[in-house]
Amino acid sequence: MAQEAARREAEHRAKAEKELFIRSVGRVKPIPGGHRALLNPERPAPVAVQRQRDEQAALHEALSDEFDASTLLDTDEHLSYRRPGIGLDVTRKLRRGEWRIQRDIDLHGLRTEAAREALGAFIREARQQGLRCVRVVHGKGLGSPGKMPVLKSRVHGWLIQKNEVLAFVQARPAQGGAGALVVLLAQA
């Protein structure tokens, strides 16, 4: 009997709620076709924004092997390069050793890919540490097949592509001569 009373009470409550709805809203008709809105649509996949930024930064810092640096190099008695707007006195001072070499990197024995990555990381770290003058030893190519230097011209091109590099000159004989460069970096 208690169950019967509870059932009747539930029916009475449902009927009262339906009548209240009709009085409040008015008579309604169901939408034909049964089309209903999705209340919980699928969320779009997350976008890895930081990864995209990191990849863009890596591309921006990428150094190309196809870059032809020969047209930008000054080749008087010694090889040198200076960015537009940098005076001749800068390369003269670099050549005379007026800037103290604060750090160096030796790329001897590295393959092209490894040398490119090592040089990029070296320049980036040197700049972050506030270094102004560094030496890059690329070798003379005497150990290369055919005794032709592989890294030498690549290093020239890579350095020219780095905005941090203001100028570079061939090192003096005591510093590595034709197998090394003295590089002036922009202030951080």
CA separation for the pair 170, 180 (Å, rounded): 6
Among 142, 141, 158, 159, smallest CA distance to 150 is for 141
Cβ of 13: how many Cβ atoms within 10 Å?
A: 10
What is the pTM assigned to this prediction?
0.60
pLDDT tens, position by position, 91-119: 889 888 899 999 999 998 888 889 989 99
Domain boundaries, the chain: 65-185
Query: DSSP secondary-structure letter at 146?
Result: G
Query: Given 1.10.1740.10, 3.30.1370.110, 3.40.50.300, 3.40.1280.10, which CATH number is that of 65-185?
Result: 3.30.1370.110
User: What region, left, alpha or beta, does residue 92 occupy, with left being phi > 0 and alpha being psi -120 to 50 degrees?
Assistant: alpha
